[in-house]
């Protein structure tokens, strides 16, 4: 999996890294039980501070996406992905509100917004394979 970070973005590097790993899992690029690089290894590979990678890994662990073992290292959660919880739904609701509000302010219709969501979902689900 290739990690692409935007060092000029307002989004923190650890958040970008988390998002890239979660998207890699969603696309199927990263399989359940698959090993990820060590904190030091990934930090060196992508040119960021090891504390940044450590923070991303710890948050991914808290969310249930990865496991961190002393002997096995970092692996994608082998027991499956976390389920939708009321807390997750609330988090998503709160994250979507400003995106939808800005879209409305810019004149985007509900249909255009839904088309964008469907397109992103399709790109992630089918990994650009056109299997829609």
Radius of gyration for the chain, computed over Cα atoms and rounded to the nearest angstrom: 17
> φ and ψ at 74, to 5 degrees?
-100, 130
pTM: 0.86
Give 23's Cβ-side CA count (13 Å radius).
Answer: 16
pLDDT of residue 130: 44
Angle 75-26-43 from CA coordinates, rounded to 5°: 45
Cβ 74 vs Cβ 57: under 8 Å: yes
Q: Which two tokens stand for residue 117?
A: 């969501």
In a structure prediction context, what are the per-residue pLDDT tens digits for the chain, which is 132 residues long?
Answer: 789 999 999 999 999 999 999 999 999 999 999 999 999 999 999 999 999 999 999 999 999 999 998 888 999 999 999 999 999 999 999 999 999 999 999 999 999 999 999 999 999 988 745 444
Q: Domain limits of the chain? A: 13-76, 86-126
Q: What is the CATH number of domain 13-76?
A: 1.10.10.10
């Amino acid at each position: 999996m290739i990690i692409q970070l935007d060092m000029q973005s307002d989004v923190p590097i650890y958040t970008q890294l988390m998002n890239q790993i979660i998207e890699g899992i969603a696309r199927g690029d990263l399989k359940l039980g698959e090993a990820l690089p060590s904190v030091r290894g990934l930090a060196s590979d992508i040119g960021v501070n090891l504390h940044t990678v450590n923070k991303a890994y710890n948050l991914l662990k808290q969310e249930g996406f990865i496991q961190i073992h002393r002997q096995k290292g970092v692996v994608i959660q082998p027991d499956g992905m976390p389920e939708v919880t009321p807390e997750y739904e609330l988090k998503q609701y709160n994250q979507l509100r400003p995106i939808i509000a800005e879209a409305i302010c810019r004149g985007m219709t509900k249909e255009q917004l839904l088309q964008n969501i469907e397109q992103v979902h399709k790109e992630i689900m089918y990994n650009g394979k056109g299997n829609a």
